[in-house]
């Protein structure tokens, strides 16, 4: 992928929009990570049809889909979405993200999701991002905490995952709060 496709980058990770050509790489990453992802995201096989539907969704102004890539090789190390974007006087969206079995535990997601947050509050013009996280998902809680999110509340029976309605903690960050933290982002 040409470096010019990158929207924003940090020392090790660069962010670009997900492309149709990413299907083979992403579906292989999903397959190798099935066990790790099932626990928090539910069973989600990435069929061609499912991938195509997500691309269609990302063409809407209400959704953005990104991949997080290693700057040295271009290899995908994670994914991040901003869903349910509301404009007007709210300028907010809901953040989702994932690492993969071979890419977790290196700090790539902290850097990459941090870049997505900066991009959201910069070029995308958003003001607030929320993340909904199951209380036992400690890796995810640590990640948003590192990025300056604050715990705002507790949503009982928030999302249907793996056959049950799961409680989630609601975390959020605003443009003002992120301006007060630094993650070494270059544009």
Ligand X SMILES: CC(C)(COP(=O)(O)OP(=O)(O)OC[C@H]1O[C@@H](n2cnc3c(N)ncnc32)[C@H](O)[C@@H]1OP(=O)(O)O)[C@@H](O)C(=O)NCCC(=O)NCCS
Tell me the torsion sign for CA atoms 57, 94, 138, 145: positive
Least Cβ distance, residue 139 to ligand X (angstroms): 4
Q: How far is the CB of 127 from ligand X (least distance, A)?
A: 21
The residue length of the chain stands at: 187
CB of 177 to ligand X, least distance (A): 19
Give dist(CA 158, CA 172) in Å, integer.
Answer: 16
CB-wise, 4 or 73, nearer to ligand X?
73
Distance separating the N- and C-terminal Cα atoms of the chain: 18
Distance CA 71, CA 75 (A): 8
Contact residues for ligand X (CB under 6 A)?
Answer: 36-37, 40-41, 97-99, 104-110, 133, 137, 139-140, 142-143
Nearer to ligand X, 37 or 89 (CB): 37
In the complex, the smallest distance separating the C-beta of residue 78 from ligand X, rounded to whole angstroms, is 7
CB of 26 to ligand X, least distance (A): 13
Nearer to ligand X, 137 or 174 (CB): 137
Chain residue whose CB lies nearest ligand X:
107
Q: Report d(CA 131, CA 133) in Å as an integer.
A: 6
Q: Name the residue nearer to ligand X (CB basis): 12 or 57.
A: 12
Q: How far apart are the C-alpha atoms of 62 and 5, rounded to whole Å?
A: 21
- Closer to ligand X by CB, 87 or 151: give it: 151
Tracing tokens 């959704």 back to the chain, one arrives at 63
């Amino acid at each position: 992928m040409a470096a010019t496709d990158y929207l924003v980058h940090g020392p090790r990770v660069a962010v670009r929009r997900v492309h149709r050509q990413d299907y083979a790489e992403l579906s292989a990453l999903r397959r190798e990570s099935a066990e790790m992802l099932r626990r928090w995201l539910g069973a989600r096989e990435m069929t061609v049809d499912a991938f195509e539907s997500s691309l269609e969704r990302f063409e809407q102004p209400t959704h953005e889909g990104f991949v997080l890539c290693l700057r040295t090789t271009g290899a995908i190390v994670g994914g991040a979405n901003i869903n349910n974007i509301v404009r007007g006087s709210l300028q907010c969206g809901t953040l989702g993200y994932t690492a993969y079995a071979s890419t977790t535990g290196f700090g790539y997601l902290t850097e990459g999701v941090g870049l997505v947050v900066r991009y959201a509050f910069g070029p995308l013009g958003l003001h607030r991002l929320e993340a909904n996280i199951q209380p036992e998902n400690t890796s995810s809680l640590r990640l948003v905490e590192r990025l300056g999110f604050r715990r705002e509340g507790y949503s009982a029976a928030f999302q249907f995952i793996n056959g049950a309605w799961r409680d989630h903690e609601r975390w959020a960050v605003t443009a003002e709060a992120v301006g007060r933290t630094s993650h070494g982002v270059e544009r």
